[in-house]
A and B are shown apart, each in its own frame.
Chain A
Amino acid sequence: MHPALQGLITIIVGVGGCVGYFYFSNQFLDKVLFPATGKNAGHNINRANQVRPWLFLFPALFALGLYLAYPVVATLWLSLTDRKAGGAFVGFANYRQMFGEPKFWEAVQNNMLWLIVVPAFSTGFGLLAAQLTDRIKWGNIAKSLIFMPMAISFVGAAVIWKLVYDTRPVDQDQIGVLNAVWLLFDGGPASFLLLKLLPALILVMFAASMAWVIYQVVRPWIRPEKGHRKTGWWAVPLRAVLAIVAAWLIWLSLGSLVSLFSARLPYGAPQTWLTIPFWNSFFLMAVLVWIQTGFAMVILSAAIRGIPEETIEAAVIDGANPFQIFFKIKVPQIMGTIVVVWTTITIVVLKVFDIVFAMTNGQWQTQVLANYMYDKLFRANDWGVGSASAMVIMLLVTPILVWNVYNARKESR
């Protein structure tokens, strides 16, 4: 049978089946099971109305249970068994084997980098774009153009960016933009300014902002404020973890500052960007940042629109300059939205697979967890270790899951 025909039949059967199910099950409930006639009419109507929600919910709950809830448990179980031994329980052997593999630690390390860089840059660029386009006439056109990469598949984006990163031998014209730009640098003062001083400034600014984060996080311990709202017990370890992460990032950025100035850049030689260890991950991240910035921009732009006009007017009257208005009036008011955007992008990053799969397939030390998992499951056919790495992804998602559920519960009350 032709697949298109099969698809058409599926639509008809699927949609017709669903509608038919809902219609006839309701009829059955009202006419046969608890008929609204006879001496028990009132009682029956009540009972029917107790059952009805479950009729409406059943197909969805069944599909959710089978396709999302059950696999979590099943994957957990698979990660504790060995496929070769006929599914025998092996405890944590798979995890032990996985922790012994350098490729796994490479994937974890890269994923951590992705988790910091992609949400930070996407949200940052998104906020910038949202603020800049907020009050100009052609802002909507600009926004929809920046938003456009959202519609492009990761694979399509991979092709687009592979063209950007393309490399030709030194005696031919470069067809990749990045190399064409790179060859404009010759090691002169302009190169120093753009390739050494500018990144150094960005690094210093990053380190400073991290120091600010530490200060904010630790402040309640140094100078406890009177009348401050009491927070839960979990705030203490959370603050400690945040402070440690920020301190580690400062250490990292200072380290890169040193290596930035000691490094000798290969001017005049076209680079194969995707094979330079460590830095190639950043070239892959650029693809995701490019895609996700539009998302961040749309959400943040709506949040900026929602800021009460009076707060801004008051600041203008008090003589605040546009930068102060942005950082001290607008950003604090949309902080909640920024957190939502950040966590949403974090989840996208954790699942990122297609970009790495299509561009490098994890070679040259660009492995990430999702691709590592795919490798284990379908290339090495090792379901145990594959499931174990899937559980690691789940574990990383869990804090956000809990946080989202907690917020949803709080709001529905």
Chain B
Amino acid sequence: MHATSSKKSPLVWAVHISVVLLVALWMFPTVGLFVSSFRTADQIANTGWWNSLFTQERQRPAIRISGDEKQEGAEFVIDGRLFRADNVVISKWGTSSREPKAYEPGDVADLGEGVSLTVAADGAFRLSAPQSFGDGRLPRVFTTAEAPPEFTFDNYRFVLFDPNNREGMANAFFNTLTVTIPATIIPIVIAAFAAYALAWMRFPGRSLLIAAIVGLLVVPLQLALIPLLKLHNDIGIGKGYLGVWLAHTGFGLPLAIYLLRNYMVGLPRDIIENARVDGATDFQIFVKIILPLSFPALASFAIFQFLWTWNDLLVALVFLIDSTGETTVMTKQIVELLGTRGGNWEILATSAFVSIAVPLVVFFAMQKYLVRGLLSGSVK
């Protein structure tokens, strides 16, 4: 065994603590968004999400007392309520910004010159003085209210199911799904045949083609935007689903062929030779032997392509979304929301989480294949 793990030295503890810190650091931003998507707009705007699990002592903005003066015996009195809402319960109050928590509810504060003020827990106040208040400025009251942790599904209801919400994500969600599924399946079929040819058929120029595909792997798709948009317009596809499916197919092919070929080359030669001897054609070998055996590689690429098309913004912007905006996808919708609803974190967080949720599920369910694909795709 290794020296570092055989004895519980301080170093082992240091390793454990560092990993905990690293994981916490990496999780923190995502958790923040997740928690925020379950809070009300008011909560998000007033406290950090990391406080949301605790009962909040929240200082409310100062309220200047107002109301009509009454005379009760020798005293002049103003009473009334600080808040219009019924459900506010204050825990502390004060009359100066330096000491906003000076008094408990029900305490009587002496404000000098015989003026006294008392505020009850529900916000009812009574200000009294031996002389009339006249037109002088009345005191301000600072209150601190306690709010228990509270979470809500309203944001999700609004973002996903509210028919009146024109910025909702439901439509965009289905558009994204419509883009993603064909754009994932079609390149797999095309690439699988090509990969078989590159792995198991002998023909002149094979190694040159493989090199070309390795080269195409890194060609930035930025180069393809204008020429292909022009092409799509010229042949009448224009902007739409067909265009975006074709584009994703084209851009996904190099990785698909590369991954699948690397995997297929490693399949046992005997099986294929035996099948050949038994008189199977290449087509039969491919469909009956290679395809089933290549399932792990097919799954790896499918996940890559799924994540990439689901998360894509640029290709959809260029090839799909026209001026009507009917075919908008989730990423584009979120960018729009960032512009128009920059401060409405409850909507932003919920919309973002709706778009993140599906890839996260896929990621955790099929992580094994994703890692395998990454390893065979880049360590070469």
Contacts from A to B (Cβ < 8 Å): 3-4, 6-7, 10-11, 14-15, 18-19, 22-23, 26, 30, 50, 52-54, 56-57, 59-61, 63-64, 66-72, 74-75, 78, 125, 128-129, 132-133, 135-136, 139, 142, 144-156, 158-164, 166, 172-177, 180, 290, 293-295, 298-299, 302-303, 312, 316, 322, 337, 340-341, 344, 347, 350-351, 353-354, 357-359, 370, 373-374, 377-378, 383, 386-387, 390-391, 393-394, 397, 400-401, 404-405, 407-409, 411-412
Quick check: B216 and A68 within 8 Å, CB to CB?
yes
Q: Any chain A CB within 8 A of the CB of B121?
A: no
Quick check: A160 and B33 within 8 Å, CB to CB?
yes
Interface mask (B41-63 → A, CB under 8 Å = 1, otherwise 0): 00011111110000000000000
Quick check: A78 and B203 within 8 Å, CB to CB?
no
In the assembled complex, which residues on chain A have CB atoms less than 8 Å from the CB atom of B379? 299, 302-303, 337, 340
20 contacts between A and B (CB under 8 A): A10-B186, A10-B241, A52-B201, A60-B193, A61-B194, A64-B250, A70-B227, A132-B15, A136-B16, A155-B313, A155-B355, A156-B334, A159-B33, A160-B33, A160-B352, A299-B379, A357-B335, A359-B338, A383-B226, A409-B207
Interface mask (B9-28 → A, CB under 8 Å = 1, otherwise 0): 00100011011001100111
Name 5 extra pairs, CB < 8 A, besides A64-B213, A68-B250.
A18-B193, A66-B231, A67-B250, A149-B30, A152-B359
In the assembly, what is the distance between CA of A3 and CA of B253, in Å?
A: 24
In the assembled complex, which residues on chain A have CB atoms less than 8 Å from the CB atom of B32? 160, 163-164, 177
Q: How far is the CB of A283 from chain B (nearest CB, A)?
A: 12
Quick check: A135 and B5 within 8 Å, CB to CB?
yes
Quick check: A149 and B327 within 8 Å, CB to CB?
no
Q: How far is the CB of B156 from chain A (nearest CB, A)?
A: 16
Known: A3-B178, A63-B253, A295-B374. A400 touches B227 (CB 8 A): no
Quick check: B207 and A411 within 8 Å, CB to CB?
no
In the assembly, what is the distance between CA of A374 and CA of B15, in Å?
A: 44
Residue of B nearest to A321 (CB): B3
Quick check: B182 and A299 within 8 Å, CB to CB?
no
In the assembled complex, which residues on chain A have CB atoms less than 8 Å from the CB atom of B335? 155, 357-358
In the assembly, what is the distance between CA of A142 and CA of B22, in Å?
A: 9
Quick check: B19 and A148 within 8 Å, CB to CB?
no
Quick check: A64 and B216 within 8 Å, CB to CB?
yes
Quick check: B197 and A153 within 8 Å, CB to CB?
no
Known: A6-B241, A14-B185, A354-B313. A394 touches B220 (CB 8 A): yes
B324-374 interface with A by 8 A CB criterion: 327, 331, 334-335, 338, 345, 348-349, 351-352, 355-356, 359-360, 362-364, 367, 370-371, 374
B170-220 interface with A by 8 A CB criterion: 174-175, 177-179, 181-182, 185-186, 189-191, 193-194, 196-198, 201-203, 206-207, 209-211, 213-220
Known: A70-B227, A148-B360. A11 touches B185 (CB 8 A): yes
Quick check: B49 and A175 within 8 Å, CB to CB?
yes
Quick check: A401 and B219 within 8 Å, CB to CB?
yes
Residue of A nearest to B214 (CB): A408
In the assembled complex, which residues on chain A have CB atoms less than 8 Å from the CB atom of B166? none
In the assembly, what is the distance between CA of A411 and CA of B228, in Å?
A: 34
Known: A11-B181, A144-B364, A173-B47. A74 touches B227 (CB 8 A): yes
Quick check: A128 and B362 within 8 Å, CB to CB?
no
Quick check: A132 and B367 within 8 Å, CB to CB?
no
Residue of A nearest to B248 (CB): A67
Known: A57-B197, A60-B193, A341-B378. A75 touches B226 (CB 8 A): yes
Number of interface residues of B (CB under 8 A): 117
Q: Any chain A CB within 8 A of the CB of B307?
A: yes
Contacts from B to A (Cβ < 8 Å): 2-5, 11, 15-16, 18-19, 22-23, 26-30, 32-33, 36, 44-50, 174-175, 177-179, 181-182, 185-186, 189-191, 193-194, 196-198, 201-203, 206-207, 209-211, 213-228, 230-231, 241-242, 245-247, 249-251, 253-254, 257, 281-283, 286, 307, 310-314, 317-318, 327, 331, 334-335, 338, 345, 348-349, 351-352, 355-356, 359-360, 362-364, 367, 370-371, 374-375, 378-380
Quick check: B2 and A316 within 8 Å, CB to CB?
yes
Residue of B nearest to A15 (CB): B189
Known: A145-B27, A394-B223. A347 touches B228 (CB 8 A): no
In the assembly, what is the distance between CA of A373 and CA of B226, in Å?
A: 11
Quick check: A353 and B227 within 8 Å, CB to CB?
no
Quick check: B241 and A180 within 8 Å, CB to CB?
no
Quick check: B19 and A68 within 8 Å, CB to CB?
no
Quick check: A401 and B313 within 8 Å, CB to CB?
no
Known: A151-B359, A163-B36. A7 touches B241 (CB 8 A): yes
In the assembled complex, which residues on chain A have CB atoms less than 8 Å from the CB atom of B375? 298-299, 302
Interface residue from A148, A359, A397 paired with B363 (Cβ < 8 Å)? A148
In the assembly, what is the distance between CA of A137 and CA of B296, in Å?
A: 26
Residue of A nearest to B364 (CB): A144
